[in-house]
């Protein structure tokens, strides 16, 4: 097993400082940020020095993560829940297609599929399927909510119309209540 990366050995508060510093500097000034991190490590009494390559890799990972979140947020903010469900279906198809291509490539080259790659692909499919299932449940819940609200609005409209008609016809409050309960099934 490879040794742990130096950035994994630094305290959490310094890792947070590093992430904030990189974000504040627009993921640039890697040399200055690395010097600042190493100075803070020395101040903390840690005999550890982090190289600019490690900080640069960390910066790139943070930037990629930030961009991925921004893209996802933009995509999902413009979508209703049905469109989001469709996006999950498309992603599932893309992953399945990639899996088939990967398996075909392995067969053509008469190689063995790396178990780690296969496990990663399986996990990705499982997670996406689970996510898709949650989206389908949210979609069903949303449809049920919309239908319930439509029923309640129609019921309120019928009740108002019944009351207006009963008032015009001179019906008593008792007769109006009987009509609500018996004929329309409305709550009183």
Cα atoms in the 13 Å half-sphere on the side-chain side of 169: 11
Q: Determine the Cα–Cα distance for residues 15 and 91; give it in Å rounded to an integer.
A: 33
d(CA 136, CA 126): 15
Q: Per-residue pLDDT tens for 65-119? A: 888 777 766 666 666 666 666 666 677 777 777 777 777 777 777 677 677 777 7
22 touches 59 (CB < 8 A): yes
Q: Do 44 and 14 form a contact (C-beta atoms < 8 A)?
A: yes
More confident residue, 32 or 183: 32
Ranges of each domain in the chain? 1-78
Which single residue is written with the structure tokens 């508060």? 13
């Amino acid at each position: 097993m490879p040794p742990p990366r130096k950035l994994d050995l630094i305290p959490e508060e310094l890792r947070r400082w590093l992430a904030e510093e990189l974000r504040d500097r627009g993921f640039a000034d890697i040399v200055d940020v690395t010097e600042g991190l190493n100075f803070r490590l020395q101040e903390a009494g840690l005999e550890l020095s982090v190289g600019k390559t490690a900080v640069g890799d960390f910066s790139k990972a943070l930037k990629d993560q930030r961009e991925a979140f921004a893209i996802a947020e933009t995509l999902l903010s413009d979508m209703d829940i049905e469109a989001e469900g469709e996006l999950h279906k498309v992603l599932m198809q893309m992953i399945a297609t990639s899996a088939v291509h990967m398996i075909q490539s392995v067969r053509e080259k008469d190689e063995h599929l790396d178990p780690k790659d296969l496990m990663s692909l399986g996990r990705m499919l499982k997670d996406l399927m689970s996510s898709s299932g949650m989206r389908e449940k949210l979609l069903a819940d949303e449809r049920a909510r919309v239908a319930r609200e439509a029923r309640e609005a129609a019921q309120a409209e019928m009740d108002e119309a019944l009351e207006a008609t009963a008032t015009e016809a001179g019906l008593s409050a008792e007769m109006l209540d009987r009509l609500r309960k018996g004929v329309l099934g409305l709550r009183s």
